[in-house]
């Protein structure tokens, strides 16, 4: 793994630990479709392919997240609730209510 890949992974880890929990909203792709957030997906792609070789997959993921954001904002039938996704995250011992959008 190159120094650039390691630096990108450290930046993502910093973002996930110190910025993301305090920004007040979640990844639109993860909110709409479930699964991993964009930051987790990009970190996985970097570990699998490297930053340079993974650029097409990273760009595709961000495009999918933009589409999910548009669906959430427009009140698309894909989005649950009005103007966003609401539900309960059961990742762990305690259910955590959330709202995105």
Q: List pLDDT tens digits, range 18-70.
A: 988 887 778 889 988 888 999 999 999 999 999 999 999 999 999 999 998 88
CA distances from 76 to 13, 30, 79 (A): 32, 16, 5
3-state secondary structure at position 99: strand
pLDDT tier, 73 (very low <50, low <70, confident <90, very high otherwise): confident
pTM for this predicted structure: 0.72
Q: List pLDDT tens digits, range 13-30.
A: 999 999 888 877 788 899
Give counts: helices (H), strands (E), the chain: 4, 2
- Which residue from 55, 58, 76 is spatially nearest to 67, judged by alpha carbons? 76
Where do we find the tokens 């539900």? 87
At 100, give phi and psi (nearest 5°).
-125, 140
């Amino acid at each position: 793994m190159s120094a650039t890949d390691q630096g990108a992974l450290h930046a993502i880890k910093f973002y996930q630990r110190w910025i993301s929990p305090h920004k007040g909203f979640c990844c639109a792709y993860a909110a709409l479709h479930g699964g991993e957030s964009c930051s987790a997906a990009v970190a996985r792609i970097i570990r699998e392919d490297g930053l340079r070789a993974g650029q097409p997959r990273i760009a595709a993921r961000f495009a999918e997240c933009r589409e999910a954001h548009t669906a959430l904002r427009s009140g698309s039938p894909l989005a649950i609730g009005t103007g966003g996704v609401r539900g309960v995250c059961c990742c762990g011992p305690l259910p955590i209510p959330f709202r995105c959008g």
